[in-house]
C-alpha cells in the first residue's frame, strides 16, 4: 500500500495519492479512500489503546517507515471518522463573545456623546459672566471685560449705579436701556451690547457717569448668536420697576423673531446691598454683584436659560429686603 506522504503538521499528513490532508491517526484518506501501510517496524507500533479522537495527540514523535517524523502509527480500524471539531468550535464561540463585548463597550462609550440636548438648551452659549464692583464714589467705572474674547462674540454689559446719573455710552457699544428710558429716584440700571472684535479680552471699558457714584457691573460673553449685522435685530429687551422684595422682569415677545432657539437673560438692578436669595425658576448661572455693603450701595443679579419659545415671562427674583429695583428680560436670537 502507499504511504501517507510527508507530514504537514504534527497532526496531519499529506495523502500520497491525492495530496489531501490526512489526520495523523488515520489509516485511510477521507477524500480518495486510499489505505495506508502500517509502520514497517513492530516496535514503532503502539499498543492498542483508547481512541484519541477529539483530543490532542500524545507527546513524542514517531518515525515513519520512510524516515520522516510522524504521529502515532495508523490504527487497524477499517474506517476512520474525521477529527472532532470541538476545539475549533470553542475558539469560534470565544471569538464571537469577544466581539460582542467590544461592540457593547463601544456603544456604552459612544452613547453619552449622542444623547439629546437637555431641556433649556446648551449651557455653552454663555461663555462666562465677568463681574466688577465700584465701592468708591467716582465718575470712572472701568468695567472688566472677560479674560478671553473671540471676534464675533456678543458682549452684554449690565450696570447698576446708586443715584440717577447720566451714563456715557462708550464707543462701539449700543445703548439698550437706562435711567433715561423710564426713570427712578435713587438707582439707575443700564444695559449695553457690542459685537466683539477680539481685542477686548482682559481689558476694561469705562462707563463714565455724570456724577460720582458707586456701581456694580456684570458682563455676559455669548457665543452662537444670530449676528445679522444689526445688533438691535438680534437682541431685544423689556424693562420695568417697582419697590418690594421680588424684582419681577416683564414678559418679552421679540418683534424680530418668533419661536426660535433664544437665550433669555433675567436681571435686575437695585439700591442697597440686599442679597438675591432666589432666582427665576428654570434659570441657571444665578450671579449676584454689589458695589459694597453700605447704605449707599448698588447691587444687581442675573440668571439665564435657552429655550425655543416665542415669548418669555421669567418668575420673580427674591431679595433679602424690600428695595427699589429695575428689572429686565433680555432676548438674544441664537444661530439656527
Per-residue pLDDT of the chain (336 residues; tens, 9 = 90+): 555 566 666 667 677 777 777 777 777 777 777 776 654 444 444 444 444 444 444 444 444 444 444 444 434 444 444 445 555 555 555 555 555 445 554 434 343 333 333 334 444 799 999 999 999 999 999 999 999 999 999 999 999 999 889 999 999 999 999 976 565 668 999 999 999 999 999 999 999 999 999 999 999 999 999 999 999 999 999 999 999 999 999 999 999 999 999 999 999 999 999 999 999 999 999 999 999 999 899 999 999 999 999 999 999 999 999 999 999 999 999 997
**H/E stretch holding 94:** helix 86-110
Q: How far apart are CA 224 and CA 127, in angstroms?
A: 10
Q: What are phi and psi of 172, to 5 degrees?
A: 90, -5
Per-residue confidence (pLDDT) for residue 182, from 0 to 100? 60
Contact by Cβ (8 Å): 155, 196: yes
Contact by Cβ (8 Å): 175, 192: yes
Q: Is the dihedral of CA 287, 290, 294, 297 positive or negative?
A: negative
Q: Is 329 helix (H, G, I), strand (E, B) or coil?
A: strand
- Beta bridge mates, 242: 325
Per-residue confidence (pLDDT) for residue 166, from 0 to 100? 92
Per-residue confidence (pLDDT) for residue 41, from 0 to 100? 40
Q: Is 89 helix (H, G, I), strand (E, B) or coil?
A: helix
Per-residue confidence (pLDDT) for residue 295, from 0 to 100? 85
End-to-end CA distance of the chain: 85
Write down the domain spans for the chain: 1-84, 85-115, 123-333
Kind of pairing, strands 260-271 and 213-222? unpaired
Burial profile 222-252: b = 16 or more Cβ within 10 angstroms, e = fewer: bbbbbbeeebeebbbbbbbbeeebebbbbeb
Phi-psi region of 202 (alpha: psi -120 to 50; beta: other; left: phi over 0): left
Q: Is 32 helix (H, G, I), strand (E, B) or coil?
A: coil
Placement of cell 458682549 in the chain: 155
Per-residue confidence (pLDDT) for residue 102, from 0 to 100? 55
Cell of 147: 479674560
Placement of cell 471699558 in the chain: 205
Per-residue confidence (pLDDT) for residue 80, from 0 to 100? 46
Q: At a CB cut-off of 8 Å and minimum separation 6, what does 304 contact? A: 126, 220, 263, 264, 265, 266, 283, 284, 285
Q: At a CB cut-off of 8 Å and minimum separation 6, what does 157 contact? A: 143, 173, 190, 191, 192, 193, 205, 207, 217, 218, 219
pTM: 0.65
CB atoms inside a 10 Å sphere around CB 28: 18
Contact by Cβ (8 Å): 52, 112: no
Amino acid at each position: 500500500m502507499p504511504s501517507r506522504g510527508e507530514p504537514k503538521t504534527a497532526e496531519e499528513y499529506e495523502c500520497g495519492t491525492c495530496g489531501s490532508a490526512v489526520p495523523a491517526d488515520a489509516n485511510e484518506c477521507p477524500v480518495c479512500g486510499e489505505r495506508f501501510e502500517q509502520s514497517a517496524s513492530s516496535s514503532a507500533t503502539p499498543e492498542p489503546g483508547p481512541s484519541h479522537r477529539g483530543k490532542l495527540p500524545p507527546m513524542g514523535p514517531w518515525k515513519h517507515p520512510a524516515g520522516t517524523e510522524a504521529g502515532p502509527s495508523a490504527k487497524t480500524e477499517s474506517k476512520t471518522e474525521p477529527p472532532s471539531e470541538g476545539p475549533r468550535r470553542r475558539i469560534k464561540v470565544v471569538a464571537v463573545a469577544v466581539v460582542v463585548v467590544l461592540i457593547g463597550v463601544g456603544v456604552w462609550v459612544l452613547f453619552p456623546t449622542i444623547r439629546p440636548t437637555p431641556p433649556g438648551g446648551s449651557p455653552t452659549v454663555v461663555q462666562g459672566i465677568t463681574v466688577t464692583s465700584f465701592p468708591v464714589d467716582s465718575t470712572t467705572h472701568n468695567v472688566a471685560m472677560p479674560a478671553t474674547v473671540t471676534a464675533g462674540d456678543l458682549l452684554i454689559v449690565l450696570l447698576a449705579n446708586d443715584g440717577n446719573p447720566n451714563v456715557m455710552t462708550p464707543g462701539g457699544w449700543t445703548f439698550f436701556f437706562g435711567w433715561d428710558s423710564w426713570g427712578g429716584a435713587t438707582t439707575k440700571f443700564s444695559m449695553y451690547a457690542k459685537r466683539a472684535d477680539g481685542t477686548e479680552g482682559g481689558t476694561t471699558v469705562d462707563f463714565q457717569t455724570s456724577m460720582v457714584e458707586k456701581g456694580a457691573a456684570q458682563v455676559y460673553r455669548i457665543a452662537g448668536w444670530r449676528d445679522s449685522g444689526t445688533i438691535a435685530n438680534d437682541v431685544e429687551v423689556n424693562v420695568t420697576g417697582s419697590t418690594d422684595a421680588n424684582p419681577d422682569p416683564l414678559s418679552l415677545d421679540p418683534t424680530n423673531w418668533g419661536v426660535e432657539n433664544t437665550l433669555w437673560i433675567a436681571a435686575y438692578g437695585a439700591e442697597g446691598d440686599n442679597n438675591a436669595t432666589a432666582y427665576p425658576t428654570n434659570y441657571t448661572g444665578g450671579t449676584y454683584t454689589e458695589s459694597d455693603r453700605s447704605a449707599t450701595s448698588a447691587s444687581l443679579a442675573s440668571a439665564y436659560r435657552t429655550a425655543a419659545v416665542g415669548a418669555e415671562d421669567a418668575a420673580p427674583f427674591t431679595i433679602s429686603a424690600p428695595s427699589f429695583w429695575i428689572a429686565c428680560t433680555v432676548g438674544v436670537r441664537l444661530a439656527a
